Each structure stands twice: as structure tokens, then as C-alpha cells.
Amino acid sequence: MVRLLLVLVLLLMSVGCVAADLVPFVLPWDDASAGPSNVSSLISKPAGKYGFVKVKDSHLYEGGKRLRLFGVNITTSACFPQHSDAEKVAARLAKFGINCVRFHHMDAAWADDVILTKDKRQIDPTQLERLDYFIYQLRKNGIYADINLHVSREYPDMPAWQGHPDFYKGVDIFYPPMVQKQQEYARQLLGHFNPYTKTRYVDEPSVAFVEISNEDGLLYMWSSNGFESMPDPYASSFTDLWRKWLTKQYASDEKLQKAWTGDSQPVGPELLANGSFEQDIQGWNLETHNDTKASLAVDRDERVGNFVRVNVTKTDGTGWHVQLTHPGVVLKKDKYYTITFQAKADHKLGVSVGVQMAGDPWESVFYTAREVETGWNEYKLIFKSDRNDKDMRLNMSDLGLQPGVWDFAHFSIKEGAVYDLPVTHIADIAYMKRGNIDSYGPAIKRDWLQFLWDTEADYWTGMQSFIKNELGCKPSVVGTAVGFSPATMQAKLDIVDSHSYWHHPEFPVRPWDSEEWLIRNVSMAGEPGSGTLGSLAAARVFGKPFTVTEYNHPAPNTYSSEAFLLLAAYASLQDWDGIFVFSYQGSRDGWNTRKIGNFFDTDQHPTKMAAMPAASAMFLRGDVQPAKNAQVIPLPNAVLMDIIAKTGPWIGPGHIGLTGLEAMRSRIGQSTSNNPVKPIVKETAAVVHSDTGQLAWDTVRRVVTVDTPRSKAFIGMTNGKIEKLGDVEVQVLSSMQNWAAITLTAIKGTSIADFGSVLITATGYTENSGMKWKDDQHTSVGRNWGEAPSLVECIGAEIRIPTKKPVKVWALDERGQRGRQVPVTMQNGKAIFRIGQDYKTLWYEVERVK
């Protein structure tokens, strides 16, 4: 008993020690003071002084100079600040090296005080005037605007239906009245005359570009089952487009029938053992991962005979954490296979049906999602194998998304396929639902996907033509984010764009439930699968500027100060044109909360903001050299369509057998050229060095290092050893998570070897005062985000900088102004000093004494 009490006392002392190590640190919302943390000198002022942003040699240019955009998203009511706030916010943005604002969710149906009137039908003149003044202030401070058109408006005059896609995405691509509404809004907003800049937005050079529709895509929404229950008038409009396309392709019913029935193959013997559960659950496995709970049992029904029941009682929001599998399936390359089964559920539920490898790397040959109703239904799925493999498995997944009861009967897999024709006359054909398409032959699939492709492509190019030609808009035009639309389709517009988040919040009970949510609280640095970066690199199209207009490592991730440092370093290596934080602020009343407010807002996040000058300087100056070598992802149209048929329009490294780590070595991207390209060399090294030698991604130690003349960084797990960044040495002495992000940025001088002033940041753990974690893994705080002020740990480290002259070191306060002086020792041509808890700060200045 005494021993137990002693253990408890020690544990409480440990917790108290952690709390005591945290200090308040709030970067003032309205501070734009000069000093080593102010990198606004990197920005040309005013924005647009050299004319419109142009696309030249596959990149963005400002006059005759290459332009890189380090941007932020500002959303909903924060897009319309009071005039006095607009002046302060614009100046603070510039201080941190931010030179573009993406105006996002201005049209939100779910938010108040947006650009639309209360009924969401017209542009509100009061809000528009505030936007005008904000953009004027941004322009003065060298900050461009990215104007988003359709983001989250819901077309209030259009009939709704239960389960329609959010904001009618996908539908608004093919349904003419919605396209007309988008054009009316674009005409009103872009044609508006700003009395402060004295220009219309179509003629405003500080508008870098205009985005047509955020995260929108016909192929994506169809492949995500967005149109399964779509009623008229949308269904009839979609069907009419499909019939017209088929008539243009085939001209007659006879030609259509001949084309669509030519691929049938005889069906062979059964390949799946115990598919009808006559031997109970022999051969079947129920997998549960993490804290999910589920049971498996065989029962009998008069209608179907034996069936297996999967009862999922606890989920964590990750679909594959509960799976019903059957290994031992033998496949032959280029052969077609037919899967059939029956299913019902206790309420409408989803299930993903796949055939995949039974071991690492778990690659899928076939994957599709289906809805399961409360009555028995039969499902027929046809796929083509792209490999020979004697140990594949049937996989019923996504059972971990929500609690429920699934009943399955009469599973069958057979080689061969007999294809059903939907109807025999073009005039009777309806649009294809995702749930039915895998019952039909490859010719029908090819035609349907090509119809979706053509219809979507016509929308993007048609809207671009409307904006540029009819409205006379001089800024560049972006369509939407890659993944929601194919990269090569988006390459028909001026700029290719993408979005990504490292472990976006998951909501296992209800979407956007403020209490029941989870994040994975882990660092991305050195992650073996490349984290977000490999997939982003694969989304790029060579020959076009590339931007990432949404990115974050959402709070309360306690390693998240790495987010924009890692992105800036590898965006520079990949030679991208713009990277944007999502988001800066989303409330007009939220500028001065002095705490971390939510998953995404960054303006009051102490460690993310403290690291931002280092990230923006690294990217805007091009401190990290672009990779010397470029490797092109070979994606012939047939391969691209096959991937889209399986998983939708997001093309990641895994789709072509890569790891994603290739992007840590070379420039990666897709090509619109039909010329043959060399296959990408797969990256297998544990430590991946960029071909410039300036970056290292260490998957063993989970560390990333940056070593350039003007920027150096150590990001990742610490072990107390000396880390060499060229001639600079960093030794982490104390950190709460055995993790730190330490940067050195030359503010004055051509390099850290020949500097006038160096900014040092050292970031790690952060939380709000009184924040209450739900578990030891720090995966959620529910609604208990805590109060102001935000708290940070002060990383302890010894730093050695080569110098022939003496230096002085200061701890900087929350405004980046000099405070206490840090003792420095000169030894063997190096200035040696220690930072840490005593100074109660995240950043320091090193100045060479003249």
C-alpha cells in the first residue's frame, strides 16, 4: 500500500512538473512592429505594383520576377473586418511574410455576417464595402487576394433532398440553373467597383487569381455515391445529358448494343470457400483495430438460409478498423471476375467491398462502396485483375465508421463475367448510379466515365471562358482542388491547386460534433509514408504553376509547429508556386482571443505563428533549392480511367506502386504529354536526402533537417546528441515530448555563416490554460479547449554558430522585441549559448557585433 501511494505521489509530481514547465506566450493580434521577427521586407509593396500576376515558364511571375505566394485563408465573417481592424490585420500579416489572402467561405450558407444577405440570395452592400476596404489595406501591405466564388452557398431557390451533397457539389457542375446562379454571383462580385482601389475586381492587379468552385467535381461526387438518391429535376437533367452524349457517340440503338455486349466472358467455378457459411465462420476473419468492438456469428434466415452477422458496438471513425475478410482468393492477370453477395442492415449503412493483397503493402485490385438497406438485397460486382496473385482476400470494410449490424449471405467470386444491359434503347437509359455500375461491362463503364469526364471538363473550361472572356477578368483562373477533380483536367486552366491536412479531425458519431472528435496526435517529420507531402507532389502537373491553398496540422496536435516548416521546405524542393495556411481566422470577433480557438485558426496559435517567419522566409526567398532531377508520373488515359473507376479522381503515389518518399528526393509530377516517359525510381532508403543535399527525411529517427546558407532547421524526435546543420550545431537538452522544431534564419546578411542578424525559433508543446485532455494519447479535448492565455514549453538547447567576430544574443518577447541578453561563450571559432526555460520565450535574436 505504501509503495502504491509512493507511485501515485511521483505521478502527481510528474504532472505538476509538466504544468510548471509551460509559460504564457501570446503573439499580439495587432502587432506589426519592426525587429528580427518581421520579414515584411520580403514582400513587394503594394501588391500588383508590377501589374497582374502572370503565368510564365510554368510558374507565377510578378513583372519580370518569379513570384512565390505564402498565403493564408481568411473565412466567413473575418473576411469583413471593421476598418480599424483591417488596417492592423493587414500589417500583421505582412510582418509574418504572408503575401496572399484566400477569401474563403464568404458565401457560407451556415454562417452569419457573410457576403450574402440573410436570405442568402443577394450580395450585402455593407459586407461588400468592408471587403473592399480590407482588400485595399492588403494591397497597400503587399498582400495579394485570391477570390473564391462558389464555396458553401446552397442555392436557396433550388429544391433540396435528404442526403444531397454538401453545397450541391457535383450537381452544380451539370445542372444549368445552378451554373447560371454561379455566373450571376461572379458577375456581381468581380464586376464590382472598389471605391478604395478605384478598380473593378476584374481589373485589379492585386487579385492574384479567382477560384471557380472549392472542392468540387463531378467524377469525385459520383464516385462518392453523391447522386444515388438524386430526384428530379436533377436526375432528369443528368439523364438527358447522358442520352445526348450516347446519341452523339453511337447514333443508333443497334450500335450501342453491339458495343456494350461485346466483352462478356463465360463464368467459371467458385473461388471462395464457405461463401454460404455452411461450415460456420470457417475461413472468415473479423478484424478489429484500436478500441473498436465487434462480434461475428452465423444465423439462419428462411429467405436466404445461413448468413453471418457482424455486430459493431464501438467505433472510432476509421472505416478499416473493423473488417470482415476471407483470404486465399487466387487471381489471374487481365481476367475478369464476378463478385455476388446478399446483405441487409439494422438501419441504412455503408460498406466497402474490395479484393486486396492479404499482406503488406495491402494493395487493392478492386474497391467500391455500397449502401446496405434494411431488407435483403443482392449485389453483383465485376472487376478486372491487374496481377497474378495466389493469396488475395475479399475484404468487407468501412464497418468501423459507425455502430450497426450488418448481415451477409451467399458470397461468391468466380472468374468471368456476364454483363447486364441497363436497357436496349438510348431513349430509355437513365444516368448510372455508382451502386450499379460494377454490374455492367467494361464498355459501359468506359463510356460512363468518359461522359462524366467530358461533362466536367466542359464545365471548368466553360466557367473559365465566362470569367475571362465575358466578364473580362484579367487575373488568372483556378478551377478546384486536385483530388476532387483530376489533375490533368485542372491543367486546362491557368493553375493547378491541391489541399491536404495531416490527420484531419475525425468524427466517429456525427459530422462536426464538437464533443465527439479525434485527432492522431503524432508528428509528421520523418513519417515513413511521407505524410501529406508525397501525395501533394503527385498532384502537381508539370508545365503549370502549382499551389496548395489549404494546409494544416490541425490543433490540438502538440507537434503542429512543424506544419508550415515542413511544407515550406518541400514546396521549395518541389518548386511549387504557392502554399496557404488554412486558416488564419474565421470570425470577425476572434482577432484577440489570446488562445488556440479551434482545429484550424492559426493567428492566435503561439507555436505555429512563432515558426511562421522562418517558414515564409525559407519559401519566399527560395532558400531551399529546387530538386535537380524531375521524375514524371506515367499516367496514360487508360490507366487514369481505371484508377478513377476504382477509387475516384485522387491519384496518389500508391496508385502506381510508389511510396511517396520519392518526393523527398526529386521533383515529382504528372504530365499531360502523350510522349513516353521513364518510370519513377521507387525510393527505398530509410533516410532520404534531396538530390540538392539540403534536406534529409529520416524515417528511422523521425527527424527532418534543413541545411541551406540562409535557413537551417532541426524538426523531430530528440535524443540529446549534437545535430549538425552544416557548420551550425544544435543539441536539444530538454523537451517535454522528446521532440522539438528549431530553426535558424538569416534576417540580415547573405548567410548564417556571414550574418548580421539571425532569428532563432524553438517550439514544441503547446496548449491553452485549463485545456482538458480526454486521454493520455492527447487525441481529443472535446469542448474543453481551455482559456486564455495559451501556454508553451520553452525548449532547452545549446546552439553553436561559426563566427569570426563576437555576437550578442537576446531572448525576444511576444512582439519579437529584445528582452534579456543570453550569455555567449566564444570557443574554437564558434559562438556557443544556451536557450531554454529561464527565458520564457519561443524565439531569440543573434547579432554579430561590428
* Concatenated DSSP letters of 458-496: HHHHHHHHIIIIIS---SEEEEEEETTB-HHHHTTSSEE
- Cα-only R_g, the chain: 28
The pairing of strands 293-301 and 305-314 is antiparallel
Instruction: Check whether residue 792 and residue 670 sit in a common domain.
Output: no
Cell 447486364, residue?
A: 420
Distance CA 188, CA 685 (A): 54
Residue 275 in domain: no
Asked if residue 690 has pLDDT above 80, the reply is yes
Tell me the CA distances in angstroms from 795 to 117, 734, 764, 809, 814, one per residue in order.
Answer: 48, 6, 7, 16, 16
The residues, ordered by sequence, that sit 6+ positions from 34 with a Cβ below 8 Å of its Cβ are none
C-alpha cell at 115: 457576403
Instruction: Check whether residue 725 and residue 803 sit in a common domain.
Output: yes
Residue 620 in domain: no
Residue 621 in domain: no
Give the burial class of 354: count Cβ atoms within 10 A of its Cβ; 0-12 exposed, 13-18 middle, 19 or more buried.
buried
Distance CA 641, CA 638 (A): 5
DSSP state of 530: -
Region 112-133 average pLDDT: 95
Distance CA 522, CA 560 (A): 9
pLDDT tens track for 550-586: 999 999 999 999 999 999 999 999 999 999 999 999 9
pLDDT (0 to 100) of residue 657: 78
Residue 290 in domain: yes
Domain boundary among 387, 415, 443: 415
Q: How many residues does the chain have?
A: 850
Instruction: Kindly state the helix (H) or strand (E) to which residue 612 belongs, with its residue range.
Output: helix 606-620
pLDDT tens track for 594-613: 999 999 999 999 999 999 99
Instruction: Check whether residue 840 and residue 761 sit in a common domain.
Output: yes
Q: Could you tell me the sign of the dihedral formed by the alpha carbons of 717, 722, 728, 730, in that order?
A: positive
The pairing of strands 144-150 and 100-104 is parallel
Region 702-729 average pLDDT: 97
Instruction: Check whether residue 657 and residue 704 sit in a common domain.
Output: no
Asked if residue 13 has pLDDT above 50, the reply is no
**Domain containing residue 291: CATH number:** 2.60.120.260
Region 193-218 average pLDDT: 98
Q: Which of 164-173, 253-262, 532-541, 722-731 has the lowest mean pLDDT?
A: 253-262
The pairing of strands 578-585 and 69-75 is parallel
pLDDT (0 to 100) of residue 371: 86
pLDDT (0 to 100) of residue 291: 86
CB-based contact 620:42 (threshold 8 Å): yes
Instruction: Check whether residue 664 and residue 731 sit in a common domain.
Output: no
Residue 369 in domain: yes
Domain boundary among 661, 684, 707: 684
Residue 466 in domain: no
Mutual orientation of helices 125-140 and 83-95 as an angle, nearest 10°?
30
Instruction: Check whether residue 694 and residue 835 sit in a common domain.
Output: yes
- Computed over every residue of the chain, the mean pLDDT equals 93
677 DSSP β-pair partners: none
pLDDT tens track for 282-339: 999 999 998 899 999 999 998 999 999 999 999 987 889 999 999 999 999 989 899 9
Asked if residue 10 has pLDDT above 50, the reply is no
Asked if residue 256 has pLDDT above 50, the reply is yes
Q: How many CA atoms lie within 13 A of 285 on its CB side?
A: 12
Instruction: Check whether residue 668 and residue 724 sit in a common domain.
Output: no
**Residue 668 structural domain:** 632-684
Instruction: Check whether residue 717 and residue 835 sit in a common domain.
Output: yes
DSSP state of 148: E
Distance CA 445, CA 675 (A): 26
The residues, ordered by sequence, that sit 6+ positions from 357 with a Cβ below 8 Å of its Cβ are 363, 364, 389, 391, 392, 393
Instruction: Check whether residue 725 and residue 668 sit in a common domain.
Output: no
The residues, ordered by sequence, that sit 6+ positions from 82 with a Cβ below 8 Å of its Cβ are 130, 588
pLDDT tens track for 503-539: 999 998 889 999 999 999 999 999 999 999 999 999 9
Provide the percentage of residues in the chain whose pLDDT is more than 70.
97
Is the pTM higher than 0.85?
Answer: yes
Per the omega criterion (within 30 degrees of 0), is the bond before 583 cis? yes
Instruction: Check whether residue 796 and residue 676 sit in a common domain.
Output: no
pLDDT tens track for 130-139: 999 999 999 9
Instruction: Check whether residue 748 and residue 769 sit in a common domain.
Output: yes
Residue 808 in domain: yes
Instruction: Check whether residue 712 and residue 738 sit in a common domain.
Output: yes
pLDDT (0 to 100) of residue 278: 94
Structural domains of the chain, count: 3
The pairing of strands 722-725 and 695-698 is unpaired
Distance CA 130, CA 136 (A): 10
Domain boundary among 380, 415, 450: 415
Residue 247 in domain: no
Q: Could you tell me the sign of the dihedral formed by the alpha carbons of 592, 596, 600, 604, in that order?
A: positive
**What is the per-residue burial (b if ≥16 Cβ within 10 Å, else e) of 673-697?**
eeeebeebeebeeeebebbbebbbb
